[in-house]
Amino acid sequence: MVATVRTIAFQGVEVCPVDVQVQIASGMPAFTIVGLPDKAVAESKERVRSALHAMGISLPPKRLTVNLAPADVMKEGSHYDLPIALGLLAAMDIMPKEELADTIVLGELSLDATIRAVAGVLPAAIHAGSNDNKLICPGDCGGEAAWAGNIDILAPTNLLQLINHMKGTQVMGPPTPKLANDDMLHVPNLSSVKGQESAKRALEIAACGGHNLLMVGPPGSGKSMLASCLPGILPPLSPSEALEVSMIHSLAGTLPEGGLMKTRPYRDPHHSASLPALIGGGHKVKPGEISLAHRGVLFLDELPEFARSTLEAMRQPLETGETLVARANMHVKYPARFQLVAAMNPCRCGHLGAPDMECTKAPKCGTDYQAKLSGPLLDRIDLQVDVPPVSVADLSAQGGEDSAIVAARVARIRQIQENRYKSLTENGKIRMNADAGSELLEQVAPLDSAAKSVLDQAVERMNLSARSYFRLMRVARTIADMDGAPDTLSSAHIAEAISYKRLTYSRF
Ligand SMILES: Nc1ncnc2c1ncn2[C@@H]1O[C@H](COP(=O)(O)OP(=O)(O)O)[C@@H](O)[C@H]1O
Ligand SMILES: [Mg+2]
């Protein structure tokens, strides 16, 4: 007899249905799993055997065959334990087969029959919801699955609890939706950063419009500190964004406490990060840092220290907002609409331009160091600011504005942008100035005549590329929004936006 249990395989954020077919036939005792299982899936038979044994159930001394269909999709991960165990129990008539029809099952088993948390429960729950299926998932992931809406969910903590529920002896209640406790208590306050008014202004512009930002300055001037204040001034995720972002984190297994995220992701990988770690892919296809930073911030400290190939690989996702990981037998797409914030020293010794401190190789050491960043990458960074050393006067002065005040301003400007683009685009995918395409931008950012002539001159003198031109307009649009000018851009807005293009200008 064959028992079938439904589960899923992941291909990027896409979910592919998988049937676990279990057959018990007479013959030499054996237990085989077929259907392109990876190592974790192949080892699942030992966990399943022990978990059943822990409940006093031993597998029949027969030929047990588990087929994971479709056979040509690679099955990765540990979430196949539970469906395989339930399939065996159904084939052994311990569990009613009809209870498992139209139910998607995923979970990992411990040797003592506890059901352990697995990655990807949220996308699985959403898939189950859109196909009118029920879901059985680990108890620890119930709070995550419950966000999928109106579906029947069982979130048992161990196999015995599930069997008792199915037999009606001990009925479980549905799990309740859980929010991650990702409050920003640990985030430094902007008021602790002294001086650096122009860098703070650039940080606020970047936060308002979602623009990319590069801070250049000597060591100890507060670049890393400024960047670490950024999560404290960004608005929280909207409900639809929270679901979108949590899906990716669920797949990567990084969802904080198994609940839906409400704060924007802020990822700061070390500069030794490899290309797959940053972009995605690797042995097991997993979302990279740029996807984990989707709808949030990717902070790259000491930018020139990153491997060149890693930085160049970010060029395409920076434009398209998604990354495509190609493997021999499949292509996997992950969303990656992130805001890039980076910091660097002006040269290797860090003191280029400070006459009493710079090294003997200046200015060559500076040009060499900055040349590690390619033109195309710099072209994609809209705001480039100098972060000079903090003066003694600033150090002894009071700190600046509190993060909460800045955050309120940022939230208001984000709302203005959202309202603007909601009426102009159908699907509401564009929410910030940084996301607006060039045609849309021309529509929402008309220039007055003085602004036009300033822009034309700048394009000519600075040899700006078409991309830089539109990026500059986006920044100017944000500056105008912050200035309370909802329609036409003035020359002051354009001039300020141009002032943030200094690195590109000095190098090319
Ligand atoms: N503008 C500043 N205001 C207050 N403290 C600062 C400032 N700049 C640097 N510091 C102090 O110096 C430390 C190192 O600053 P950091 O941001 O790491 O410098 P870097 O520019 O090298 O990244 C901070 O933790 C902070 O204590
Ligand atoms: Mg630093």
Residues 376 and 313 occupy one common structural domain: yes
User: Is there a domain that residue 278 lies in?
Assistant: yes
Half-sphere exposure for 240 (CA within 13 Å, toward CB)? 5
Residue whose entry in the numeric block shows the structure tokens 């040509």: 72
Q: Where are the alpha helices (DSSP H) in 428-465?
A: 438-444, 449-462
The ligand 1 atom nearest the CA atom of 219: 22
Residues 381 and 454 occupy one common structural domain: no
Q: Which long-range contacts (CB under 8 A, 24 or more apart) does 327-331 make?
A: 327/281, 327/285, 329/74, 330/11, 330/74
pLDDT computed for residue 429 by the predictor = 79
Q: What is the CATH number of the domain that holds 61?
A: 3.30.230.10
For 263, other C-beta atoms within 10 Å of its C-beta total: 20
Count Cβ atoms within 10 A of the Cβ of residue 456 and give its class: 0-12 exposed, 13-18 middle, 19 or more buried. Answer: exposed
3-state DSSP of 285-333: CEECHHHHCCCCEEEECCHHHCCHHHHHHCHHHHHHCEEEEECCCCEEE
Structure tokens belonging to residue 114: 């506890």
Instruction: Tell me if 108 sits within 8 A of 116, measured CB to CB.
Output: yes
Residues 351 and 490 occupy one common structural domain: no
Pocket lining for ligand 1, CB < 6 angstroms: 193-196, 217, 219-225, 343, 390
* Residue ID of nearest Cα to ligand 1 atom 12: 220
Residue whose entry in the numeric block shows the structure tokens 């892919």: 281
Per the prediction, the chain carries an average pLDDT of 90
User: Is there a domain that residue 359 lies in?
Assistant: yes
Residues 333 and 377 occupy one common structural domain: yes
Pocket test for ligand 1, best of 191, 225, 395 (most atoms within 8 A of CB): 225
- Least trusted range by pLDDT, from 87-101, 182-196, 232-246: 182-196
- Give residue 444's domain range: 436-507
**Centroid of ligand 1 to alpha carbon of 183 (angstroms):** 23
* Residue ID of nearest Cα to ligand 1 atom 13: 220
**Centroid of ligand 1 to alpha carbon of 193 (angstroms):** 8
* 3-class secondary structure, 280: strand
Structure tokens belonging to residue 7: 């589960």
CA distances from 60 to 23, 296, 385, 431, 454 (A): 12, 52, 70, 58, 82
Among the candidates 132, 167, 202, a domain finishes at: 167
Which ligand does the CA of 303 lie closest to? Answer: 2
* 3-class secondary structure, 459: helix
The percent of residues in the chain predicted with pLDDT above 90, rounded, is 63
Among the candidates 408, 424, 457, a domain finishes at: 408
User: Is there a domain that residue 125 lies in?
Assistant: yes
Distance of CA 369 to the CA centre of its chain: 30
User: Is there a domain that residue 246 lies in?
Assistant: yes
User: Is there a domain that residue 462 lies in?
Assistant: yes
pTM for the model: 0.89
User: Is there a domain that residue 419 lies in?
Assistant: no
pLDDT computed for residue 505 by the predictor = 46
Residues 336 and 378 occupy one common structural domain: yes
pLDDT in tens, 296-334: 999 999 999 999 999 999 999 999 999 988 776 678 889
Residues 159 and 18 occupy one common structural domain: yes
pLDDT computed for residue 503 by the predictor = 61
User: Is there a domain that residue 131 lies in?
Assistant: yes
pLDDT in tens, 358-367: 777 777 888 8
* 3-class secondary structure, 448: coil
pLDDT band at 467 (very low <50, low <70, confident <90, very high): confident
CA distance 231 to 199: 16
List the shell of residues around ion ligand 2, using CB closer than 5 Å.
224
**Centroid of ligand 1 to alpha carbon of 392 (angstroms):** 14
For 275, other C-beta atoms within 10 Å of its C-beta total: 18
Residues 237 and 346 occupy one common structural domain: yes
User: Which helix (DSSP H) or strand (DSSP E) does residue 342 occupy?
Assistant: strand 339-344
The ligand 1 atom nearest the CA atom of 215: 21
Residues 404 and 440 occupy one common structural domain: no
Among the candidates 127, 152, 167, a domain finishes at: 167
Residues 247 and 356 occupy one common structural domain: yes
Half-sphere exposure for 73 (CA within 13 Å, toward CB)? 22
User: Is there a domain that residue 13 lies in?
Assistant: yes
Residues 365 and 458 occupy one common structural domain: no
**Centroid of ligand 1 to alpha carbon of 209 (angstroms):** 25
- The count of domains in the chain is 3
**Centroid of ligand 1 to alpha carbon of 360 (angstroms):** 26
Q: Residues of 335-368 as b/e, b for ≥16 C-beta within 10 angstroms? A: bbbbbbbbbbbbbebbbbeeeeebeeebeebbee
- Least trusted range by pLDDT, from 110-119, 155-164, 306-315, 455-464: 455-464
The ligand 1 atom nearest the CA atom of 387: 21
Residues 21 and 61 occupy one common structural domain: yes
Residues 240 and 208 occupy one common structural domain: yes
